[in-house]
């Protein structure tokens, strides 16, 4: 069987290339994985196959995968770390590889994936989110895009970031709203139906500030807010590019003297952290954020504890005297 290239110089047997493609199709169809996630998984698995081809001096194929031993896995991870790959990134690659070979072993007779599936990822500490404090978050929603000439664009950007902070939305979720959501988004106390990652649905209450911001945008928007059209429009009427909100955040960040971590996603982190600080229930915050697992939401307890310790070290007399 001749080897084929994956387009990046890596020789992969046709059978293995088809298997990788079918696995990615499976993830996209049944697990509703995003194109970004699928591309990342493709790169992770292809990276391992590239190592395997060079490690054994031949095309990467099903036979090479069947023959993988524990020492091969250790060599792959050692090489990746030597090239500067972080523990968290390597753990993600190993997870993708395990998913692929687990799927493959269910379809290939005699495929023993024990060496790969038993490999342990390097330990890594998940970085804490970097939220803005309440004053900074409020300032962002009140001042973003004030340098823009067109009033409707200023109103649009303000509405988007107010939804991010006021509802804990991801930027893709806010920009995924349509004209059909306009009435709900402008009604204080109503609940927006949000479709998040993995096509999971959740209901997010509309706070008064968000309702007012979206209503102001709706009044000024020069484009008809048709039911199936995007709620937030670009300058020429098409869907709003998320990069424009990122740029607006970069501008306001400089104006307010905020750190580089003040991104659109930081407003979602701020939403969760401020709710938790105010006594919000962790399970309720999980539902509002659309996290599948409570462990994902629990990371915000680490943020709250870290901020508490900062206050303690700076304000407590005994702590200050030791610094």
Supply the residues annotated as catalytic: 170, 197, 265, 268, 291, 300
CA dist., res. 203 & res. 145, Å (int): 28
The DSSP letter of residue 179 is: G
Closest CA to 267 of 163, 112, 149: 163
Q: What is the largest CA-CA distance in the chain?
A: 75
- Residue 103 Cα to chain centre, angstroms: 24
- Dihedrals φ, ψ of 300, to 5°? -70, -20
Q: Which helix (H) or strand (E) holds 202?
A: strand 201-205
CA atoms within 13 A on the CB side of 292: 5
CB atoms within 10 A of CB 4: 16
CA dist., res. 295 & res. 197, Å (int): 16
Task: Kindly state the tokens that stand for 59.
Answer: 């095309």
Q: Which position has the token pair 């960040």?
A: 253
Helix orientation angle between 35-56 and 14-30, rounded to the nearest 10 degrees: 160
Q: Which position has the token pair 């989110």?
A: 129
CA dist., res. 302 & res. 204, Å (int): 24
- Dihedrals φ, ψ of 256, to 5°? -95, -5
Alpha helices in the chain (DSSP H): 14-30, 35-56, 62-66, 70-82, 87-105, 114-117, 134-143, 151-167, 171-175, 182-185, 208-220, 242-256, 264-277, 282-289, 294-297, 299-315, 317-322
CA dist., res. 166 & res. 211, Å (int): 10
């Amino acid at each position: 069987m001749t080897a084929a290239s994956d387009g990046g110089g890596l020789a992969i047997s046709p059978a293995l290339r088809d298997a990788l493609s079918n696995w990615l199709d499976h993830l996209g169809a049944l697990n509703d994985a995003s194109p970004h996630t699928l591309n990342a998984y493709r790169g992770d698995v292809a990276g391992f196959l590239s190592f395997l081809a060079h490690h054994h001096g031949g095309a990467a194929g099903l036979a090479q995968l069947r023959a993988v031993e524990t020492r091969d896995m250790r060599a792959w991870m050692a090489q990746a770390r030597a090239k500067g790959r972080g523990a968290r990134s390597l753990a993600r690659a190993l997870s993708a590889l395990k998913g692929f070979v687990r799927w493959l072993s269910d379809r290939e007779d005699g495929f023993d994936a024990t060496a790969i599936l038993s490999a342990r990822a390097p330990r890594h500490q998940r970085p804490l989110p970097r939220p803005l404090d309440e004053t900074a978050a409020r300032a962002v929603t009140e001042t973003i895009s004030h340098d823009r000439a067109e009033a409707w664009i200023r109103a649009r950007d303000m509405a988007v970031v107010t939804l991010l902070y006021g509802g804990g939305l991801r930027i893709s979720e806010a920009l995924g709203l349509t004209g059909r959501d306009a009435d709900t988004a402008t009604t204080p106390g109503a609940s927006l139906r949000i479709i998040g990652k993995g096509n999971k649905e959740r209901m997010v209450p509309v706070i008064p500030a968000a309702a007012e911001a979206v209503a102001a945008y709706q009044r000024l928007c020069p484009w008809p807010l048709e039911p199936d059209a995007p709620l937030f429009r670009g300058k020429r009427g098409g869907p709003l590019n998320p990069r424009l909100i990122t740029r607006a955040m970069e501008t306001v960040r400089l104006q307010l003297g905020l750190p580089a971590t003040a991104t659109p996603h930081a407003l979602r982190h701020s939403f969760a952290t401020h709710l938790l600080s105010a006594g919000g229930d962790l399970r309720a915050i999980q539902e509002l954020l659309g996290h599948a697992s409570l462990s994902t939401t629990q990371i915000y307890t680490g943020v709250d504890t870290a901020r508490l310790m900062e206050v303690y070290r700076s304000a407590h007399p005994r702590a200050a005297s030791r610094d």
